[in-house]
Structure 1
Amino acid sequence: MTYEIQFCLGLTHHSWARAADPVAAVDATLRAIRVADAAGLDSVWLSEDPDGWDAVAVLAAAARETERIRLGTGVTNPYLRHPNLIAMSVATVDWLSGGRAFLGLGRGQAEWYSRALGVRTGRPPEVLAETIDLLRQWWRPPGRASSTGHFHVRDWARAIGPVQSHVPIYLAALGPRALRVAAERADGLLVADFASVPYLRRLIPTVRSWVAEAGRDPDSFRFYVRTGIVVTDDPEPVLERRKNQMALVNALPGMTRQIEVPGFDVPAIMARVREVMRTNEVLEAGGAFIDIRQVADFAAARRLIPTELVAAVSLVGPAAEIRARLRELAEIGVNGVFIAPPGERDAAEYAALIRDITP
């Protein structure tokens, strides 16, 4: 069975962090979302880290400037936002957008919260399961929830619920326990960047079988993959930049699982990258991405990461090549992929680009 591929836009706070002109940075972000909306993209996902922007505030602004695109976090977590805050934030975006909100949820990096921000983290997979259960209680009548787990919610009622009768929740997960939580409770899975085809060939049927075991419909369960598609006839500079992203994010604990490429000892490569990035040192002190960036040797990390490895797990290249690779992803069950922001393209040009790579 081949699944129809939908295109998504993923945005981070990084453009704001580098911006000399805040007004221009905000305008560029909202313009990108408007163009994606007009070009027919399925959804926009805004990342949320404890050292960055408030993703929900940006989504709320975008809700009033768009008409059809779905709006969600990509992702937030129950340590940065208590489940009650998540419930009210997503419901508010749903009202502002006329029923287009969704939630991208993950565990975050526990060290940031427990060591630097004084947040009790418990067992993350259990906390994620409890969070989803609480949200489902608050988002259906009568909007009242209780929990005896990590949060100890005592019969708390909410006056405002979402417009949608069912708000989609997509879980970002890599470990087996978190994947089980996704299969049993969520509407889909968000797979991290640099996921290889061999990994996805194993992951998707496994998770679908767990969805069925939970008595749910596996065909309605969605798989979104952060692909960062870039259409170009000169892929080398893009791949070199993507090495920075791999070094920063995939050096974190557990983040190499989805990088399975024959001929490369990825765990060994990333262990050396972790050393020059000083990832473990920063995490031990409770530091965040901003702290890693200040001490990391990105040039050394790029030298350690083979360009061929990055190319194997990146959708970067000519349109025909990307179209063929997307066809393969659709055949193994991927429902949604992420494409680079439009940049200077208008909606018609962005739409034409997407048509050119659609299988």
Structure 2
Amino acid sequence: MEFCLDLSHHPWARSADPQRAAREAIRIIEVADQAGLHSAWLSEDPDGWDAFAVLGAAANRTERIRLGTGVTNPYLRHPVLLAMSAVTLDRLSGGRAFLGLGRGQPEWYRVSLGIETGQPLRALRETIALLRQWWQPPYRASSSGQFRVQDWRLAFGPVQPSIPIYLAALGPRALALATSQADGVLIADFASEPFLRRLVPELRRKVEMAGRDPDAFSIFVRTAITVTDDPEPILERRKSLLALLCTLPGMARQLEVPGFDVPALIARLREVMRTEEVLARGGGLSAARELGDLATARRLIPTELVAAVSHVGSAEEIRARLRRLAEIGVTHVFVAPPGDLDPHAYADLVARIRP
């Protein structure tokens, strides 16, 4: 089992010192690199940073850690820009780039940004096909579908034979696309053990049915591992994240927790967060925070439910949970950023929780 780092632009938005926040982001990736983490994933939404710019800066300050998006999409970046950005990062990093790809939230792009979204799954399928063409000699690609590309050639390709593509997926059709076309899948935060116990063997079986090697297919699960003896404040903060993310369409599939009526809870949360109204306006997560009632949402969410789908607690508790995930077949998990820890202390923390 490998450990990964998950970073977003939110610290930049909260910081009163922009340059310090930028330096801190690079320092965190440097520490993760020196501590031996597998990869750094930088989120990319249309209200935050340019993930590839940050990753390019980190490429010059790191040696081993793999660098990529977690995730971007073909609406924010046309497939040719995705191809160019990933190849540029791969060359800057000496062959350490990967691409985390997802469908994005279509309402943001269609309603607020005036981008024709078409069919999101079709857009992903065509994007992957185009990228595979652009990353192989002679670096020429064509498509007659949603993206009409007419024999467009790039000047050069990546350092790697092909840059890995990991698809963020939860629904059956997106998962089918991942198992047939991608190099791995990224499962969203708040995935329960019962959900993963059912899903992971099915993914392996579908990869094999597609004529591919299931052992070469990576399964990343956003776990947000936090080692602490005082889990309550962290679980309380995660209630807000659950209310913001799991109320989006299709984003609560992974919340399979026996003893809780999750569909009823999500329906109620969508009411208090005014999710339908926010999406109809094309609003993003900042709009959800402004219009929704997060205080009521947190009161509605049982702490026991959040604890069941969070990896927050002592090193011993987390190691036991990760051992079960490894037995299920999960290959990569995410650990919280190092904070003030130096590389040695961060590496020691990872060693303490490694199953």
Band of TM-score, shorter chain: over 0.9
User: Deviation per CA, 1:73-125, whole angstroms, max 9, x where unpaired?
Assistant: 00000000000000000000001000000000000001111111111111111
Distance 2:120 2:209 in 1: 22
Alignment of 1:99-114 (within 5 A): 99-114=95-110
Alignment partner of 1:159 is 2:155:
yes
Match of 2:245 among 244, 249, 255: 249
Aligned to 2:51: 55
Distance 2:161 2:69 in 1: 19
Aligned to 1:186: 182
Shift of 1:280: 1.3
What residue identity is the alignment partner of 1:309? L
Distance 1:65 1:280 in 2: 43
Alignment partner of 1:14 is 2:10:
yes
Shift of 1:340: 0.4
User: Deviation per CA, 1:258-281, whole angstroms, max 9, x where unpaired?
Assistant: 010000011111111111111211
Query: Which deviates more from structure 2 when the two are superposed, residues 163-172 or residues 272-281?
Result: 272-281
Ranges in structure 2 where 5+ consecutive residues have no aligned partner: none
Aligned to 1:149: 145
Distance 2:290 2:12 in 1: 17
Give the superposed CA RMSD. 0.7
User: Deviation per CA, 1:159-199, whole angstroms, max 9, x where unpaired?
Assistant: 02111112110000111111111011000000000000111
Shift of 1:209: 1.4
Query: Which deviates more from structure 2 when the two are superposed, residues 290-299 or residues 261-270?
Result: 290-299
Alignment of 1:1-150 (within 5 A): 5-150=1-146
SS of the residue 1:141 aligns to: coil
Are the counterparts in 2 of residues 88 and 160 from structure 1 also a CA contact under 8 Å?
no
Match of 1:210 among 185, 206, 210: 206
Distance 1:15 1:332 in 2: 34
Distance 1:274 1:27 in 2: 37
Shift of 1:292: 1.1
SS of the residue 2:149 aligns to: coil
Distance 2:110 2:282 in 1: 8
SS of the residue 1:147 aligns to: strand
Q: Matched residues, percent identical? A: 67
**TM-score, normalised with respect to structure 2:** 0.99
Alignment partner of 1:230 is 2:230:
no
Count residues in correspondence: 355
Distance 1:25 1:247 in 2: 27
Distance 2:339 2:270 in 1: 32
What residue identity is the alignment partner of 2:88? T
Deviating 4+ runs (over 3 angstroms): none
Shift of 1:54: 0.5
What residue identity is the alignment partner of 1:57? A
Alignment partner of 1:353 is 2:349:
yes
User: Deviation per CA, 1:218-256, whole angstroms, max 9, x where unpaired?
Assistant: 111000000000000111111000001101111101111
Distance 2:287 2:53 in 1: 24
Aligned to 2:193: 197
Ranges in structure 1 where 5+ consecutive residues have no aligned partner: none
SS of the residue 1:257 aligns to: coil
Are the counterparts in 2 of residues 76 and 104 from structure 1 also a CA contact under 8 Å?
yes
SS of the residue 2:150 aligns to: coil
Alignment of 1:185-334 (within 5 A): 185-334=181-330
Distance 1:261 1:81 in 2: 36
SS of the residue 1:9 aligns to: strand
